[in-house]
Structure 1
Amino acid sequence: MGSEFWDYCQESCIDIYYASVAHPKCNGQVERANGLILQGLKVRIFDPIKKYGAKCLQELPRVVWGLRMQRSRATGYSPFFMVYGSEAVLPSDIAFGALRIQNYDENEADATRCTDIDSAEEHRLTVSIQHARYEEQLRRYHDCNVHERDFNVDDLVLR
């Protein structure tokens, strides 16, 4: 963080923002994701009779997998779909013989995968439109429930 670095940033029109990686409160998305993981773990490992220290490590992959497979309300797609372009085959699909497992054809799989990859950009565009609609709905809901307040000098306020 010497003066040479600051000079270079000013010459290159680079804005510097500080963020602390050690404190998740600096990043709202990370804080929300950590909260969802902890919420999922608490439900799975809490047992007042038994000790549950090591059980956390066993349940963590299942909780993370569940979060990756859950459809987002904002986008309408799961994070797994957004990364790979198709939904994952679940163990329950294999165990109970879902239609897509029964109709699976090895010869068509490559062609279907190429089609999925080609349509990925179209899905991303759909997701961006859906996300914009969702944010607009949130904005409208927030604006309807926010009431304007005026404060005068000597008013008592809670900080």
Structure 2
Amino acid sequence: MLLYVLWVDRTTPKNATGQTPFSLVFGAEELIPFELVHPTARTSIRDPQTNEENLAQDLDTIEELRDQARFRMAAYQQKIASAYNKNIRISRFEVGDLVMRKAF
């Protein structure tokens, strides 16, 4: 079962990047194991010659895909940081203020 769980994790789009880890590494769309055993419209219509051309084109555009993922991840991190920092209250202590101290 671990193999299937890892496959699902690698083929699920992530919120931070908007892409699947599989597509960011290999630059191609993944096939689920079911499609390898049972032909679907996506796998049966595929022509080997055009498939090679599409894979070559995907490899050429993988850097653009990764750059888009980096920008989206940076925006996502800024959004998360601003949501976290919105609830932070700064406390300034001065000499003479009473504070609770833990005694060991």
- The alignment's TM-score, normalised by the length of structure 1, stands at 0.55
1:1-159 superposed matches below 5 A: 59-94=1-36, 95=38, 97=40, 99-151=41-93, 153-156=97-100
| Percent of residue pairs bearing the same amino acid type | 24
List 4+ stretches of structure 1 deviating above 6 A.
none
Shift of 1:150: 3.5
Give the match's secondary structure for 1:145.
coil
Distance 1:157 1:74, change over 3 A: farther
Segments of structure 2 that go 5 or more residues without pairing to the other structure are: none
The two structures, once aligned, show a CA RMSD in angstroms of: 2.0
Give CA-to-partner distance per residue, 1:6-60, whole Å, 9 cap, x none. Answer: xxxxxxxxxxxxxxxxxxxxxxxxxxxxxxxxxxxxxxxxxxxxxxxxxxxxx22
Shift of 1:138: 0.7
Higher relative contact order (CA 8 A, sep 6+): 2
> How many angstroms does 1:96 deviate by?
6.5
Q: Distance in 2 between matches of 1:82 and 1:157?
A: 50
Structure 1 pair 96–144 and aligned structure 2 pair: CA distance change class (3 A): farther
Structure 1: give runs of 5+ residues left out of the alignment.
1-58
Paired residue total: 99
